[in-house]
Each structure stands twice: as structure tokens, then as C-alpha cells.
Amino acid sequence: MSSAESEARKALARLGRAAEKAERDLNALEGALKTAEGADFPVEEYAAVRGALRRILEFTDEEAQRLQDKLLHAGGLEPGRVRRG
């Protein structure tokens, strides 16, 4: 694996961890503010932000799979036929 692929994998992992942390922090914020604000809490806006964070997580999963497939192909292996032991 070249340094470019290695850096890409590291960056994807960092992005995924950041999105997971942001999701946890959003949940904590939502819980605190829902209690404080009651009916004035912007439920739809928080749902939209949560959806955006989930899309980031999906993106990182898709890109990680794409990179893995590309690396396997470059190594002469067919993606999808490699078993993990």
C-alpha cells in the first residue's frame, strides 16, 4: 500500500470517528435542550442534522469499501472473493 492509500485510510477513519462523536454530542445536546425548552425545541432541525451526520458515516463506509476494492484489484485479487479469517 502506498503512502497515499495509507493516508486516505487514516483520513477516512478520522472522519468516521469525528462523525460518530458529533452524533453522540448532538444526542447529548438534544437531550439537555429538549428538557429545558420543551415545546419550543426545534425537532425537525435536529433530525436534519442527524441525517447529515448519518450520511457522512455512510460516505466513509462507502469510500472505505471502494478503497479496499481498489487496493485488492491493484494487488491482483478480485474484490468480494477474499475471505477474512
pLDDT of residue 20 exceeding 80:
yes
pLDDT at 81 over 90: no
User: What's the burial of 62, exposed, middle or buried (CB within 10 Å: 0-12/13-18/19+)?
Assistant: exposed
59/80 Cα distance (integer angstroms): 19
Which grid coordinates are listed for 9? 485510510
Residue entry with cell 450520511? 55
> Looking at the predicted structure, is the pLDDT value of residue 62 above 60?
yes
Q: What is the pTM of this model?
A: 0.76
Radius of gyration for the alpha carbons in the chain, expressed in angstroms and rounded: 18
Give the pLDDT score at 6: 87
